[in-house]
Homo-oligomer: A and B are copies of this chain.
């Protein structure tokens, strides 16, 4: 509900009704609404990161990156882009409101970006990407394109800008691709292993 309607627009009474519990239960577990919100963010983040981990765990090819893009876009297309990113929309509402929440969200973004970065590193190791490709920066660019795409898609109620943004980011990564050789790419680096 907080993701869909916004945090401040979601009342404790609605939460109580939706969860089928009572006020005393809420306050047994959380000192106040802010604490509950932080836990909601944590839960949302864990679910998101878990899903992303499934998608990115074995990422080590450009095809895999495109499959990831398709999965993310398809997921967002279901709602015509409404609500935006499960983490990003909460981020933008909370960052200038609750410093503790901001730091937590920054960490979640960091681990998410780390998954992308790890995949890109594997692509470097297996010779798909050139050695001079900066995996960290490419991952940041990918994340920014994703988040920007989410926001634009959300306002236009159409996934198209998100697709364009992700294609741009992936195209940028492809610029670091090692040109295709005959046969298989080299099996890892032979030196410095």
Contacts and interface: CB of A to CB of B under 8 A. Distances in A.
Contacts of A140: 152, 161, 164-165
A92 B151 contact: yes
A147 B83 CA distance: 16
State how many copies of this chain the complex holds: 2
A134 to B, nearest CB: 9
A96 B161 contact: no
Most buried by B among A97, A167, A169: A169
Contacts of A96: 4-6, 82-84, 89, 154
Contact of A152 (B8, B82, B109, B162): B109
Interface residues of A, number: 47
A93 interface: yes
Interface in A16-50: none
A6 B8 contact: yes
Nearest to A91: B155
A41 to B, nearest CB: 12
Interface of A: 4-6, 8-9, 82-84, 88-89, 91-93, 95-97, 102, 105-106, 109, 137-138, 140-141, 143-149, 151-152, 154-157, 161-162, 164-165, 167-169, 171-172, 175
